[in-house]
Amino acid sequence: MHYYSRMADSSRRQFLQAVAASAAAMPFAGGGRLHAAPKHNLPGVLGLELYTLRHLLEKDVPGTLKLVKDWGFEDVEGGGLPGKTAAEFKALLGQYGLRMQSMLTGYEKLRDDLASVVKDAKDIGCSYVGTAWIPHQGPVTRQHIDQASSDFAKWGKAVAGEGLQFFYHVHGYEFGASPDGTLLDTLMKQSPKDVAFQMDVFWVMRGGGDPAALLAKYPGRFLLMHLKDIAKGTPLGDPTGAAPDETSVPLGTGQVNWPAVLKAAKAGGTKMFYIEDEHPKAEDQVPVTLKYLAELSV
């Protein structure tokens, strides 16, 4: 299974090879001691996006999963581990008291082998299966959006027939102008209601969007959310879908108005919230984010 399609091909291959080697070489550390789930007032599930700890997973899969559990998480989002079947990956997560309800995979994998994606998602125990990147060279155009919305409609119907929910993770390059407003507005308009969306708050801000306004405009569509703050001073309105990893900062320390965003998420029906932190030292920032969420009223 793909871990993340939005990583550059070369770095993704290196990451997968390193994770596979560490998973094979190290004995499982066991479940560790149980901790209380992270305190929060979010209107749904709070989990961790495993991409947050990609640099630790490269070195020590068991120790990293134990760290996730020691923080109190029960839910994670991710893809899988190379060299392991989906069922084996589910069993590995279970050793640490973790479950995966949401899975991201590559656009090309969905296009070329949808049946295996569905099987993996069901074997892991996921309810949600999505993709985080629309393939494109240069700026995203209306043609990219038209193709994506057609594919999303097909995939959404297919996975719904298997009891799953398909979703698309907004990545910040969808805010170019369109007769509908933005290309994201066009994608929303053209995608049937059985296609859900995941708002990555960082990327929406980076691309020039207003997270709270989007949640209010499209109630019931953003069923999932990546909780990720963007450092003060980071330019907004950038259409590339890219930013330095260091611009990912703990919640409450960046540019995002989290009370407004989370209030809109509550009203808009968001169900799954995943902390994602792309900073090279994300393991130092996640506890700060958890403290912020514990003290935040929604």
pLDDT value at residue 189 = 97
Q: Summarize pLDDT for 159-194 with one digit per residue, the tens.
A: 999 999 999 999 999 999 999 999 999 999 999 988
Confidence of residue 79 (pLDDT cuts 50, 70, 90): confident
pLDDT value at residue 221 = 98
Question: Region 237-261: what's the mean pLDDT?
Answer: 97
pLDDT value at residue 17 = 37
Token duo for residue 49: 């996006």
> Average model confidence (pLDDT) for the chain?
89
Question: Region 107-126: what's the mean pLDDT?
Answer: 96
pLDDT value at residue 40 = 87
Confidence of residue 144 (pLDDT cuts 50, 70, 90): very high
Residue 126 corresponds to which amino acid? C
Question: Region 255-283: what's the mean pLDDT?
Answer: 98
The answer on pLDDT for 25 being more than 50 is no
| CATH at 255 | 3.20.20.150
Q: Provide the percentage of residues in the chain whose pLDDT is more than 90.
A: 81
Q: Report the DSSP pairing between strands 177-178 and 181-182.
A: antiparallel
Residue 122: exposure state from Cβ atoms within 10 A (0-12, 13-18, ≥19): middle
Q: Report the DSSP pairing between strands 45-49 and 272-275.
A: parallel
The answer on pLDDT for 143 being more than 70 is yes
Confirm whether 3 is domain-assigned.
no
Q: Summarize pLDDT for 188-245 with one digit per residue, the tens.
A: 999 998 899 999 999 999 999 999 999 999 999 999 999 999 999 999 999 999 999 9
pLDDT value at residue 82 = 66
Sign of the alpha-carbon dihedral angle for 83, 87, 93, 95: negative
Confirm whether 1 is domain-assigned.
no
Half-sphere exposure of 60 (CA within 13 A, CB side): 8
Q: Give 148-208 as a DSSP string.
A: HHHHHHHHHHHHHTTT-EEEEE--S---SEETTEEHHHHHHHHS-TTEEEEEEHHHHHHHT
Boundaries of domain holding 180: 9-295
Number of domains in the chain: 1
Confirm whether 4 is domain-assigned.
no
Token duo for residue 265: 């998420």
b/e string for 51-73 if b means 16 or more Cβ within 10 A? Answer: bbbbebbbebbbebbbbbbebeb
Q: What is the pTM of this model?
A: 0.89
pLDDT value at residue 36 = 62
Confirm whether 257 is domain-assigned.
yes
Q: Summarize pLDDT for 26-57 with one digit per residue, the tens.
A: 333 333 344 566 888 899 999 999 999 999 99
Confirm whether 247 is domain-assigned.
yes
pLDDT value at residue 178 = 96
Confirm whether 2 is domain-assigned.
no
Confirm whether 59 is domain-assigned.
yes
Q: Summarize pLDDT for 1-24 with one digit per residue, the tens.
A: 333 444 433 343 343 333 333 344
pLDDT value at residue 39 = 83
Low-confidence winner among 6-10, 265-269, 276-280 (lowest mean pLDDT): 6-10
- Report which of 111, 218, 208 is spatially closest to residue 155, judged by C-alpha positions: 111
Question: Region 61-90: what's the mean pLDDT?
Answer: 90
Confirm whether 230 is domain-assigned.
yes
- Residues linked to residue 104 through DSSP beta bridges, in sequence order: 130
